[in-house]
């Protein structure tokens, strides 16, 4: 298996594997061993590459780490149709990956779209989880509440733009997916954390045939299917850590208010001066929080 040349800790052996799960093929960054799994779920427009700073730390703490490229991303399968990206289907991908891992104990660590999936997974209790780590995405009940306010609705403009047919894919695909790089860099506070070579990784992945269509279909399915709304009492009863970059240009910090109503065992860490891309922009702070909160 090829080694990850971009992982900054050479003593951590990280392999790329292709895992069949839920009828799809997933490109998975794997490191560590044992029955205690940390499953890291990335967001839009990212990859498993977004966890490059956390994987070595989690391995050091005794976890087997899997960081898949979600369906539609990187070398993973890119099925056709909006319905292939509905939330309940994405949740089943996670369940199938857990089953394939052979893990006896699972911690979900998730950011952005990965966190939307992780919240849904934990609420529906699809598989037993030991702990849940969420980065810069609100609990779905908090998100629904805040979308009633103009300050959050205007920040969520892109979700509605992505409902248009073909135009978003065309626009984001221009000039080698240059807008993917700009979307990340412009939102970042500390832009030095996102050098050109890192941004190019995301642009190259988005330029693969069918990738942008798949990536944007997540947003189309979110609004066109009832999955995100059909979550019963919405309670999460496992220990949950939220890490939140306060300078998030897409999601207002007020989205964290009241989370404990649905997540009684909650610990929230707000990081001032950090953007939406929290685990990449402030890896030292995020890793320190993970070290303190996660059992090793």
pLDDT digits (tens, 9 = 90+) for 107-133: 999 999 999 999 999 999 999 999 999
Indicate the pLDDT class of residue 3, thresholds 50, 70 and 90.
very low
Assigned domain for 207 exists = yes
Assigned domain for 7 exists = no
Predicted model pTM:
0.96
- Which of 8-12, 167-171, 227-231 is the most confident on average? 167-171
Q: Which residues are catalytic?
A: 112, 219, 276
Nearest to 276 by CA among 161, 164, 193: 193
Total domains in the chain come to: 1
Assigned domain for 55 exists = yes
- pLDDT computed for residue 9 by the predictor: 47
List Cβ neighbours of 166 (8 Å cut-off, separation of 6 or more): none
Assigned domain for 187 exists = yes
- pLDDT computed for residue 13 by the predictor: 81
* pLDDT over 60 at 209, yes or no: yes
Q: How far is CA 76 from CA 67, 167, 206, in A?
A: 12, 23, 12
What average pLDDT is seen over the chain?
95
What residues make up the domain containing 59? 14-293
CATH number of 41's domain: 3.40.50.1820
Assigned domain for 6 exists = no
* pLDDT over 90 at 2, yes or no: no
* pLDDT over 70 at 10, yes or no: no
pLDDT digits (tens, 9 = 90+) for 145-184: 999 999 999 999 999 999 999 999 999 999 999 999 999 9
Assigned domain for 50 exists = yes
pLDDT digits (tens, 9 = 90+) for 45-90: 999 999 999 999 999 999 999 999 999 999 999 999 999 999 999 9
State mean pLDDT over 140-146: 96
Assigned domain for 4 exists = no
What's the rounded Cα separation, in Å, for the pair 28 and 18? 6
């Amino acid at each position: 298996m090829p080694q990850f040349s971009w992982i900054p800790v050479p003593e951590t052996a990280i392999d790329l594997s292709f895992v069949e799960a839920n009828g799809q093929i997933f490109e998975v960054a794997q490191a560590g061993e044992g029955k205690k799994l940390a499953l890291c779920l990335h967001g839009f427009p990212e990859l498993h590459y977004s966890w490059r700073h956390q994987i070595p730390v989690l391995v050091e703490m005794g976890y087997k780490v899997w960081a898949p490229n979600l369906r539609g991303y990187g070398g993973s399968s890119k099925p056709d149709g909006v319905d292939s990206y509905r939330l309940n289907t994405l949740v089943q991908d996670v369940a199938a990956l857990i089953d394939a891992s052979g893990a006896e104990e699972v911690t979900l660590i998730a950011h952005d779209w990965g966190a939307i999936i992780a919240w849904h997974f934990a609420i529906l209790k699809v598989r037993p989880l030991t702990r849940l780590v969420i980065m810069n995405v609100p609990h779905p009940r908090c998100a629904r509440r805040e979308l009633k306010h103009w300050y959050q609705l205007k920040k969520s403009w892109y979700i509605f733009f992505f409902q248009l047919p073909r135009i978003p894919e065309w626009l984001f695909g221009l000039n080698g997916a240059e807008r993917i790089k700009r979307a990340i860099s412009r939102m970042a506070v500390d832009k030095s954390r996102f050098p050109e070579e890192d941004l190019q990784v995301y642009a190259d992945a988005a330029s693969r045939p069918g990738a942008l269509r798949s990536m944007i279909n997540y947003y189309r399915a979110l609004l066109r299917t009832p999955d995100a709304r059909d979550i019963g009492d919405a309670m999460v009863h496992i220990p949950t850590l939220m890490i939140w970059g306060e300078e998030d240009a897409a999601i207002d910090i007020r989205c964290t208010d009241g989370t404990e109503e649905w997540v009684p065992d909650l610990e929230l860490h707000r990081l001032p001066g950090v953007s939406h891309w929290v685990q990449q922009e402030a890896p030292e702070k995020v890793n320190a929080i993970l070290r303190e909160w996660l059992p090793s």
